[in-house]
């Protein structure tokens, strides 16, 4: 058993790869995780040992969980969406069906669900949008209106737009190059959509720059904003201190670990402006 402040049910297992399919620039991978799947909530992540036993890659890689299924032909399973950018993620994407990986989960905080039937907006950038699909299903089952906005630099980097359309009340696409949907950055479309849809809560996943822009918009409209923070995590269990972000702490600054206090955090608490952090610390 791996002790963990947020997920006391987190365990370390050898998870079998039961599917690995390429979709555009991403890999959609499914792992058999047994009873672990029943404890997973939208927003949680797993930390996977990459590179194999002889590798120099000694630090784990954190991956947001796309979907968890607690019952199936092979028992509980989880699905991950992975972009093979670095050496670790490329190694993981090369795993074949039947291979095993060393995996710890579920880790981190999950998205909070409104107690009333709120109008919600889910904003996702690139493959960072993966955790929003399970969240959309949960919100829909709770009676919330769910509007989804997916953006990326170009059309083929928008993940699962057809699935998004089946799950939500409305789907808006944006691309930086105009190859799909609205031409421009995703944050540029949000204010108009908030007004049109009567949005009351925003959930966001994606690059830190996008999250910062959404946080400012949410503040301007005085609406709640929960974001899944994308900081590099080396251990996933609060030991290494590589994933800290600054939050407001009275008149000062407090550094918190996104693997323990996140990755889902209140966007209004995070200090997104580096100059503001330095000023608050008198640096």
Of 9-23, 26-40, 149-163, the poorest mean pLDDT is in: 149-163
Distance of CA 143 to the CA centre of its chain: 23
Section 75-104 average pLDDT: 93
Of 37-41, 52-56, 262-266, the poorest mean pLDDT is in: 52-56
Cβ neighbours of residue 182 under 8 Å, at least 6 residues apart? 172, 173, 174, 175, 188, 189
The model's confidence at residue 23, banded by pLDDT at 50, 70 and 90, is: confident
Burial of 90 (C-beta count, 10 Å sphere; 0-12/13-18/19+) = middle
- CATH of 11-107, picked from 2.60.40.10, 3.90.1150.10, 2.40.30.10, 3.40.50.970, is 2.40.30.10
Is the backbone peptide bond immediately before 263 cis, with ω within 30 degrees of 0?
yes
Cα(230)–Cα(130) distance, integer angstroms: 13
pLDDT value of residue 1: 32
Stated pTM of the model: 0.90
- Neighbouring C-alpha atoms within 13 Å toward the C-beta of 248: 11
Which of the pair, 145 or 60, is modelled with greater confidence? 145
Class of domain 110-224: alpha beta
User: Which sign, positive or negative, has the C-alpha torsion 236, 242, 247, 253?
Assistant: positive
Which part of the chain is CATH 2.40.30.10? 11-107
Q: Euclidean distance between the first and final Cα of the chain, in Å?
A: 41
pLDDT value of residue 281: 60
Cα(179)–Cα(161) distance, integer angstroms: 14
pLDDT value of residue 245: 87
């Amino acid at each position: 058993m791996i002790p963990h402040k947020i997920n006391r049910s987190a365990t370390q297992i050898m998870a079998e790869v039961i599917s690995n399919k390429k979709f555009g620039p991403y890999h959609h991978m499914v792992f058999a995780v047994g009873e672990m799947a029943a404890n997973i909530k939208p927003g949680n992540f797993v930390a996977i040992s990459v590179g194999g036993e002889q590798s120099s890659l000694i630090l784990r890689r954190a991956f947001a969980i796309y979907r968890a299924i607690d019952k199936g032909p092979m028992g509980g399973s989880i699905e991950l969406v992975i972009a093979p950018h670095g050496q670790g993620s490329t190694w993981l994407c090369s795993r074949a069906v039947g291979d095993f990986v060393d995996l710890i989960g579920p880790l981190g905080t999950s998205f909070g669900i409104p107690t009333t039937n709120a109008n919600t907006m889910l904003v996702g950038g690139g493959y960072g949008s993966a955790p929003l699909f399970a969240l959309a299903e949960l919100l829909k089952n709770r009676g919330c209106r769910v509007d989804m906005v997916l953006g990326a630099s170009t059309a083929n980097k928008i993940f699962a737009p057809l699935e998004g359309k089946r799950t939500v009340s409305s789907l808006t696409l944006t691309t930086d190059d105009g190859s799909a949907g609205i031409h421009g950055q995703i944050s540029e479309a949000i204010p108009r959509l908030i007004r049109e849809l009567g949005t009351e809560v925003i959930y966001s996943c994606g690059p830190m720059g996008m999250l910062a822009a959404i946080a400012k918009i949410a503040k301007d409209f005085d609406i709640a904003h929960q974001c899944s923070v994308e900081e590099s995590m080396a251990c996933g269990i609060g030991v290494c201190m590589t994933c800290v972000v600054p939050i407001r702490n009275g008149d000062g600054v407090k550094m918190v670990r996104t693997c323990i206090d996140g990755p889902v955090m209140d966007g209004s608490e995070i200090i997104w402006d580096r100059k503001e952090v330095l000023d608050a610390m008198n640096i």
